[in-house]
Each structure stands twice: as C-alpha cells, then as structure tokens.
Structure 1
Amino acid sequence: MTDPLARRGLYRLIYASRATDPAGLDEDLPAIVAKSIQNNRIDDITGFLAAGEGRFLQVLEGPGQVVAEVYERIGRDPRHDEIVLIADGLAERRLFRDWNMGQRRLEAEDASALAEVGLEHFTPAGLDEERALRLLITLGARHLR
C-alpha cells in the first residue's frame, strides 16, 4: 500500500500464500477463521478466505490503514509462506460485506470454479485481480448454500 491517502478510505487487498504446514491445514483453518472473525469485527474488516491444496487465497476489505496492518500481521504469521500480493487499492463498495471472514475449504466440487478462472489445481498466486475476485465470489456463493 503505497498511497498514504488510500489508507483513509475503503480498501480492498487480495493475496495468496502457501501454508507452511499443509498437513496441519485442517487443524489450523478453524483457529485462523475464528481469530479473524473476532479481530475483524472490532476492526471493521470483511472478507473471504479460500483454502485448499496447502494454499490460501484471501480478500480483505475495510479501512485502508487497518487492512494494511492486518496484511502486515499475516506476513509475520509463521503459518504462511510465499505470500504474493495480487491486488490492493481503493474500493467503491464491499463485495464481501456479509462476513467478517467467510471461508471455504476447497472440495472436489470446486473444480469447476477453478476451471472458470483457468486453474487446474488451486494455485492462486498466479491469478490477476479480476480472476481472483471471480473465484472468491463464486466460492463465497457456494459457502452460502
């Protein structure tokens, strides 16, 4: 986040990362989401986390300064590695306003959502902003079912 003025408005940040312990992902994910929900309620952050194949794709929305602080905290979290910033910038409106942190653990039925954005496997670090958002929105809709 380079523009200091952007830290004052509604901001959206999307990143991908790899779990340092992919085998422990099933155990770590509920704790990550529970803590995120708790913190995000206080900080006025909304977003969505997709996890699978030892990888994460997450969008954060909220006040720019707070989003920047959350992203910095994620960067220090030893459960994440190979963090790639996909997009960050001002947002006109929240796309994930219904969740302080919604999440979906990818399943076999999500292969069609991956294919829609050109992925055969869940390797989100190579997505651009448009495809990452499309995937997160699709997975979010499945989360609501």
Structure 2
Amino acid sequence: MSLYQLVYLSQSTRKLDKEELFALWKQAKANNGTIDVTGSLFYNGGWFMQVLEGPAPTLASLYDKIAKDPRHRDLRLLYNEPAAYRTFVRWTMNMTNLEDRQADRYEELVEVIEAAKAGRKIHALSAAVTLLNIFKS
C-alpha cells in the first residue's frame, strides 16, 4: 500500500491545558500504533496543525474521525499527497506544545501555523510543505 502524508489545521473549541494536551497525545500515540500511522501534532494559541503519515485509506478514515471530534472546529485540509518516505518515522505521534516556547525551531513553527491560518505561503511554498521541509532537514 502506498504511503501518504496528510496535513491539516484546526482551531480548538477551547484552550487546552498541558494535562489535556498530554492526554490527547497519549491517546493518539496509542491509536496510531495499531493502524500504521506516524506523525506529529503542533499546538499554539488554540490552533492545531498535524501531520499524519500512512496508507491513504487509513488516513482518509482517520481524517473523517478527526473531522467529527468536538474538541476542534474550522478543520482545513492543507496537504494530502503521496510520499516517498515517512518524515516522522520515529513517532506514532509526536507533539510540540509551542505555548511552552521551548520547542526547537519555535519561531519557524509559529510562522508556519500563522501562515496556514492566513492561507499564505512562505517563500512560495504552502505552510504544509514548509512544515514538512523543516523536519526533512
């Protein structure tokens, strides 16, 4: 089965604290491990940006499930393309809470989320492609 990468942006229906984010990450990590999905979740200022990697049918089903999750709204599919390899191969789900301001590449990641929210490009690339490129290097 071919590998795909899917990136979406959504707004949290309410601000989540560290414990709630940890519980969300833990659940996603466990679930993804059983369905051959890897990826990373980024949270900043009440916005989620997530990369999911796996078989296309699995990602489609997972995205439909995410779309129905009442914890967020304004879901926007930013990227859904075939991939030659996994960018987040080490993690069934990684999470970066940018509100801690301790993340590696903090400024770059905040800029990516802001660009995605505004629908603008960064150096002629979509926010989703820019995000993937940050982690390919």
Shorter-chain TM range is: 0.7 to 0.9
Cα offset, 1:38, TM superposition: 0.9
Unpaired runs of 5+ residues, structure 1, are 1-7
Cα offset, 1:45, TM superposition: 0.2
Q: Judge conservation of contact 1:19–1:25 (CA < 8 Å) in 2.
A: no
**Runs of 4+, deviation exceeding 6 Å:** none
1:20 paired residue number: 13
Q: Judge conservation of contact 2:97–2:103 (CA < 8 Å) in 1.
A: no
1:130 paired residue number: 129
Instruction: Pick from 78, 95, 102 the counterpart of residue 94 of structure 2.
Output: 102
2-structure distance, mates of 1:11, 1:112: 25
Percent of paired sites with the same residue: 31
2:24 paired residue number: 32
Distance verdict in 2 for CA 1:92–1:54, change over 3 Å: same
Cα offset, 1:27, TM superposition: 3.6
Unpaired runs of 5+ residues, structure 2, are none
2:69 paired residue number: 77
Q: Judge conservation of contact 2:39–2:94 (CA < 8 Å) in 1.
A: yes
Cα offset, 1:109, TM superposition: 4.5
State the superposition RMSD in angstroms.
Answer: 2.5
Instruction: Pick from 54, 58, 72 the counterpart of residue 62 of structure 1.
Output: 54
Q: Judge conservation of contact 2:40–2:94 (CA < 8 Å) in 1.
A: yes
The TM-score, its normalising length taken from structure 2, stands at: 0.81
Cα offset, 1:111, TM superposition: 9.3
The alignment covers a number of residue pairs equal to 128
Cα offset, 1:112, TM superposition: 5.8
2-structure distance, mates of 1:11, 1:88: 7
The TM-score, its normalising length taken from structure 1, stands at: 0.76
